[in-house]
Structure 1
């Protein structure tokens, strides 16, 4: 159904990297979400009145809140697709993350309210009607929510949308929750055992978990999460494909919303090379990154002495010792040597991962001790920094 509507109403629907196409997919799915959830609210509300089930009534209002969530997602996609302006030169893409986070908060609030009402129902149980029409309505609801989960998940992956993925998670939890309610009604019908309140608590737990999971998914990019390994590997492969570039470091990826990535890195080039040739290689690498990864790329040209065999040999030896005696995960770059009459300074940067087991100062001290111990009359001048990938 979604694919048929996309073919009919979305121009160039296969070009999901296009911001307008991506936004259109988000708006289409949000509109469908509003329609489906309003429909489910109506039939569940009717079933709840008919049966007197607190779990069904709570599930009905959960669907009504889902319709509101779809409306927020719709607004988020609409604003996220706006062009950059003077106040927001990086665009408005993060509004999509904010919309997804608001949806998550609403899911959590609904879960809290359901939990409270279900606990009351445990201590004050009421009679429940287990008529065939109520059971049929719940089965219809499960099938609709299952379909919503599938199309939201597929489109979310297709357009790489955390908001759509959060909506898919919500629909999946609703499907499970309604199944629990249906099972409780069948148990009552077959055994006479009323577990409606307990089912409501279980449903509330599913909703709370879904809200937490969705909040984590949408809040993480707002806080500044690590980029995907596949993205980092693509960047390295593209840049290192240029013969003039011999190494890269200090890679930073800024996420300003889907389709609005800013990439910066340092590219090591031979210090003896022609500056115009090297600059042209850097320009071409930036343009290729922009074209293939749909991002804005800035590359800092970092000259190193590749012609000095003694310096390159010492760099390999120091790097090997650091990996053997400290940690294989530590890398070094910007290596150079300054010789004096009594000693030689080896100057370089060392890179450690975030939240490393040692502080930057501890790593610096250990590297200095390691160099002076292993290489006579050599002293390390080292700057330790954390990586952003």
Structure 2
């Protein structure tokens, strides 16, 4: 069914990196969600009236809010494919993340309201009128919501969309909530226990838990999360396969929305190369990365001394020194400046986030270890940097 709908409504469905194709996927997801959720709202609202159940009625309005969330998803994808302009030179792709966050907020609001209604029902319990029609409606609703979860997850995985994955999780929570409501109704009918409010409270807690995690997943790329390690490895492999490049560092991936990434990095090249050859190699590498990963690329050339035996040996010793402190530490942009009384070792020290020492502490420790080399002949001039990947 998913493949059929994609073929029917999404032109060029395989080119998921294109904003207009992502927009078509978003319209498909939103349109299906609006239609099915409105149908479920009407059916569950009728079931809630027949059974006099606050849990079923609340579940019905949950579906109505889901229809609103589908509208947000649809509009979000349409706005995200808008072209760049003078005020937004990198496009509007992050609106897709915002729409996912809006869906998450809707999930949280439904959880809060359902929790309040459930507490009222616990304090003032009422008998539920068992209805075969109501149970049938709830059973169909669970099946529909499970299909919607699978449908949106399939679309979300195809295009790597956090918004669609949030919608899929919303559908899953709905299925669980409706199943719990149905189970509570049946148990209450058979045992005489008034479980409607308690079941509603458990469902509300589950909805709030899901809303929190979907909100976290949607908010993370807006704040600027670390890139996918596999993506970083692919970039490194592409860069390092070029003979002119002997090292790479300071890789930064800026995410302006799905399919709208910008890469910047420093490529180390032998300083003995002609500067025009280095520049040409850098241009070709930028072009390859741009074509391969569909992103903007800026590369800075770092000329590295490769023929000076003293510098090469000292670089190796310095790498061993910092990794002796902790294997996660590394250096780059190394150079030596000789003087009459001492020699300066100038380099950047790469320190990961959450390192147990402060930047000042690790810098001081490295400087002390360097001073212990060769009877104080060497001084370390350290610039501490954090890793962005």
Normalised TM-score (structure 2) = 0.98
User: Corresponding residue for 2:378?
Assistant: 378
Matches within 5 A, 1:1-389: 1-324=1-324, 326-376=325-375, 377-389=377-389
Is 1:251–1:266's contact at 8 Å kept on the other side of the alignment?
yes
Q: How many residues align?
A: 388
Distance in 2 between residues matched to 1:344 and 1:208, nearest whole Å: 61
- Aligned-pair distance for 1:375? 3.8
Q: Please list every run of 5 or more consecutive structure 2 residues that lacks an aligned counterpart in the other structure.
A: none
Distance in 1 between residues matched to 2:160 and 2:9, nearest whole Å: 20
Distance in 1 between residues matched to 2:9 and 2:173, nearest whole Å: 30
Deviations 1:90-109 (A, max 9, x none): 00001111111111112111
Q: Which moved more, 1:179-188 or 1:42-51?
A: 179-188
- Aligned-pair distance for 1:210? 1.5
Distance in 2 between residues matched to 1:15 and 1:385, nearest whole Å: 38
Distance in 1 between residues matched to 2:9 and 2:224, nearest whole Å: 35
Distance in 1 between residues matched to 2:200 and 2:374, nearest whole Å: 69
Deviations 1:72-99 (A, max 9, x none): 1111000000111111110000111111
- Aligned-pair distance for 1:41? 0.5
- Structure 1 residue ranges (4+ consecutive) displaced by more than 3 angstroms after TM superposition: none
Distance in 2 between residues matched to 1:15 and 1:95, nearest whole Å: 20
Normalised TM-score (structure 1) = 0.98
Q: Please list every run of 5 or more consecutive structure 1 residues that lacks an aligned counterpart in the other structure.
A: none
Q: Secondary structure at the match of 2:63?
A: helix
Distance in 1 between residues matched to 2:33 and 2:333, nearest whole Å: 53
Distance in 1 between residues matched to 2:135 and 2:310, nearest whole Å: 80
Distance in 2 between residues matched to 1:235 and 1:82, nearest whole Å: 28
- Aligned-pair distance for 1:296? 0.5
- Aligned-pair distance for 1:127? 1.5
Is 2:343–2:378's contact at 8 Å kept on the other side of the alignment?
yes
Distance in 1 between residues matched to 2:158 and 2:16, nearest whole Å: 7
Distance in 2 between residues matched to 1:241 and 1:40, nearest whole Å: 55
